[in-house]
């Protein structure tokens, strides 16, 4: 996947102002950055949910902006998506959540569909939970079911949007291991969007750090950890003071109080 000169704004507020990045086939690539830097927006641009104001988003040699609706749907069938907090369908049990993409996009006979669903649940260690409802799952289990659903169509590209949020240390370790294991075993290409620096460093081959609408650092996690630039150091080491301010831009405090009185 290739992004060149990406510009995108919301209500005239720039989100991206010339982003360039490459996702290498077979790699686990981390997209990091402070809250509000457009990490999830980037995923929406990659998957064709949004279109760039300017620049190129290319997936498997195809310019996403040039695809018609049918082409975008075809492209998405080669992608798997783990949404924030899993996004399981609450009225369906674990088995039917994983089976859902197959029922929507294929005409597999029930016996073969069952084989595929159970194989994916086995891959994430939850075949025995196939008849539980989402409300009966722990946070870590729900995330693993969501991963099984994301890989059930055998995608080429697997996208994780904030996969570590709300997980206890054991569940987090399991998800980290699954990201690396599935990527290497199934021959996937993985994009992991998160701001958990330490966790990502354990699984990512390459990392991009977004800030101010640009890529401000790129390289292996070890290189970003030792980067001496102030913006990079603040994020990578969780420093409260630095270029990213605590206060959102605002007018003079006293002047604003006078206007309200």
- Output the pLDDT for position 8: 92
| CA angle, residues 224, 50, 200, in degrees to nearest 5 | 25
Residue 252: partners with Cβ closer than 8 Å, 6 or more residues away: none
Lowest mean pLDDT among 75-79, 170-174, 239-243: 239-243
Task: Please state, in angstroms and rounded to a whole number, the distance separating the CA atoms of residues 27 and 221.
Answer: 13
- Output the pLDDT for position 106: 87
Measured in degrees and rounded to the nearest 5, phi and psi for residue 115 equal -60, -45
Residue 132 has pLDDT above 80, yes or no: yes
- Output the pLDDT for position 247: 59
pLDDT in tens, 149-186: 999 998 999 998 888 877 778 888 888 888 888 898 88
Tokens of 103: 């029922």
Kindly state whether residue 100 falls inside one of the protein's structural domains.
Answer: no
- Give the pLDDT band of residue 206 (cuts 50, 70, 90): very high
Q: Is the dihedral of CA 129, 132, 181, 60 positive or negative?
A: positive
Kindly state whether residue 58 falls inside one of the protein's structural domains.
Answer: yes
Residue 245 has pLDDT above 70, yes or no: no
Mean pLDDT of the chain: 86
Q: How many CA atoms lie within 13 A of 137 on its CB side?
A: 29
Kindly state whether residue 143 falls inside one of the protein's structural domains.
Answer: no
Phi-psi region at 154: left, alpha or beta (left = phi > 0; alpha = psi -120 to 50):
left
Kindly state whether residue 139 falls inside one of the protein's structural domains.
Answer: no
Kindly state whether residue 250 falls inside one of the protein's structural domains.
Answer: yes
Tell me the average pLDDT across 55-66: 88
- Output the pLDDT for position 195: 78
Measured in degrees and rounded to the nearest 5, phi and psi for residue 8 equal -155, 135
What is the extent of the structural domain holding 14?
2-89+156-260
Task: Please state, in angstroms and rounded to a whole number, the distance separating the CA atoms of residues 103 and 109.
Answer: 10
Kindly state whether residue 213 falls inside one of the protein's structural domains.
Answer: yes
Kindly state whether residue 141 falls inside one of the protein's structural domains.
Answer: no
Residue 14 has pLDDT above 70, yes or no: yes
Tokens of 112: 């073969």
Number of domains in the chain: 1
Residue 204: partners with Cβ closer than 8 Å, 6 or more residues away: 28, 29, 30, 192, 220, 221
Place of tokens 């240390």: 169
pLDDT in tens, 246-257: 556 777 777 877
pTM for the whole structure: 0.84
Lowest mean pLDDT among 31-40, 103-112, 214-223, 244-253: 244-253
Kindly state whether residue 108 falls inside one of the protein's structural domains.
Answer: no
Higher pLDDT, 13 or 6: 6
Q: What is the CATH number of the domain that holds 65?
A: 3.40.50.300
- Output the pLDDT for position 241: 65
């Amino acid at each position: 996947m290739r992004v060149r000169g990406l510009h995108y704004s919301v209500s005239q507020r720039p989100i991206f102002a010339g982003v360039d990045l490459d996702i290498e086939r077979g790699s686990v690539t981390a997209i990091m950055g402070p809250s509000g830097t457009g990490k999830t927006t980037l995923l929406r641009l990659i998957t064709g949910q949004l279109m760039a104001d300017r620049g190129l988003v290319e997936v498997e040699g195809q310019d996403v902006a040039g695809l018609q609706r049918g082409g975008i749907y075809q492209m998405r069938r080669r992608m798997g998506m783990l949404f924030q907090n899993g996004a399981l369908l609450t009225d369906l049990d674990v088995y039917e959540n994983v089976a859902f993409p197959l029922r929507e996009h294929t005409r597999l006979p029930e016996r073969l569909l069952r084989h595929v669903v159970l194989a994916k649940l086995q891959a994430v260690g939850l075949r025995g939970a196939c008849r539980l409802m989402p409300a009966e799952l722990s946070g870590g289990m729900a995330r693993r079911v969501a991963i099984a659903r994301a890989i059930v169509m055998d995608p080429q590209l697997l996208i994780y949007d904030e996969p570590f949020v709300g997980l206890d240390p054991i569940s987090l370790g399991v998800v980290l291991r699954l990201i690396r294991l599935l990527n290497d075993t199934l021959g996937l290409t993985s994009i992991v969007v998160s701001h958990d620096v330490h966790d990502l460093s354990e699984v990512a081959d390459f990392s991009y750090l977004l800030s101010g609408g640009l890529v401000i650092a790129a390289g292996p996690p070890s290189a970003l950890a030792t980067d001496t630039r102030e913006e990079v150091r603040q994020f990578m080491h969780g420093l409260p003071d630095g270029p990213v301010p605590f206060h959102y831009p605002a007018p003079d405090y006293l002047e604003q109080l006078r206007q309200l009185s």
